Amino acid sequence: MSSNEERNRDRLIYKIIVDRFEQEWKRTNDLDSKASNVTGFAGLLATLSGGITAGIAEILPQMHYKYLFVIPLIVFVLSAVFGLLAYWLTSFSAINPDALIREYRDRTEMEVLRRFVPTISILTMDNFQRNQRKVRWLYIAFLLLVLAIGLFFVITIVNMMW
């Protein structure tokens, strides 16, 4: 393989890995946005659920199942907590530009690319693992939110029947 072909190959590999790194960065921002939305919505619904529960207890003291409304409230709060866990601020792995400049200023382009590509690949996978943890917390928060909404409506219907 000629020197020019090697250079083109190394540049292509570099471009692919940098694009993947940037994709993971965007994914982090998207996950944080979703976590923020789930947390805010769960918090809002928890507040409304708490207000409705307190209001029902005051207005309809004879209602037998009024305290069941506390269950969705607890699940809403859990959803907000798991949303906060998904939103938990973690550091994003990246290369220190000053150290890169100091270490590689006298090296050839090929040397820099061959050393830089594995490093950024490792950092990308590290960031991917962090994002996977965010996905798990966000998934649980969303499931709890849906469960709490369902419980709230089921308990409301049950209370209307009796």
pLDDT for position 51: 86
What is the rounded radius of gyration, in angstroms, for the C-alpha atoms of the chain?
25
What residue ranges do the domains of the chain occupy?
26-161
Indicate whether 44 pLDDT > 90.
yes
Both tokens assigned to 32: 């944080």
**41 three-state secondary structure:** helix
- For residues 11-36, give the mean pLDDT: 88
Tell which residue, 43, 161, 77, 49, has the closest CA to residue 57.
49
H-assigned helices in 60-108: 70-87, 97-104
Q: What is the mean pLDDT of the chain?
A: 85
The 10s digit of each residue's pLDDT in 82-104 is 999 988 877 777 777 787 778 77
- For residues 63-89, give the mean pLDDT: 86
Query: Which DSSP state fits 107?
Result: S
What φ, ψ does residue 93 adopt, rounded to 5°?
-70, 130
